[in-house]
Amino acid sequence: MDTLTRANLRARVRRLLATGVLPLRSSDQKLFGGHGVGQACACCGGMISPSEVLYEIECLEGSQTWLMHLRCLEAWEIESRTAVPAGPSAQLCRPIPMARADAND
Ligand SMILES: [Zn+2]
């Protein structure tokens, strides 16, 4: 099993946020808890086993879901606070604004 250190995990999550693979944490996402059945974690890539708590993040707008471990969820929440949005993919879970003064081409 791949056991990332806390620092390595946060660095990995930062990279996933920067490339738009993971969305930024936002209040319009729903969060569900349960137990894993061997799914791959969206943050560390490791398996979420039945003995581990699984968190499912559901996106309202895109109806997408991400599965992650508790410690990965914590790393994601921490890194989301300081991450710079990566472009359109980082905005996945946010409503598309009608018009933005700073988004003119
Ligand atoms: Zn994980």
Residue with tokens 């946010």: 94
Chain segment 47-80, per-residue pLDDT in tens = 999 999 999 999 866 578 999 999 999 999 999 9
Would you list the domain boundaries of the chain?
Answer: 6-84
B/e letters for 6-26, b = 16+ CB within 10 Å, e = fewer, are: eeebbebbbebbbebebbbbe
Cα of 63 vs centre of ligand 1, distance in Å, is 21
Cα of 96 vs centre of ligand 1, distance in Å, is 29
Burial-class residue 82 by CB neighbours within 10 Å (0-12, 13-18, 19+): exposed
What global pTM score does this model have?
A: 0.75
Q: Look at residue 94 and give its three-state secondary structure.
A: coil
Cα of 46 vs centre of ligand 1, distance in Å, is 6
Separation CA 98–CA 66 (nearest Å): 27
Cα of 68 vs centre of ligand 1, distance in Å, is 5
Chain segment 5-32, per-residue pLDDT in tens = 999 999 999 999 988 889 899 888 999 9
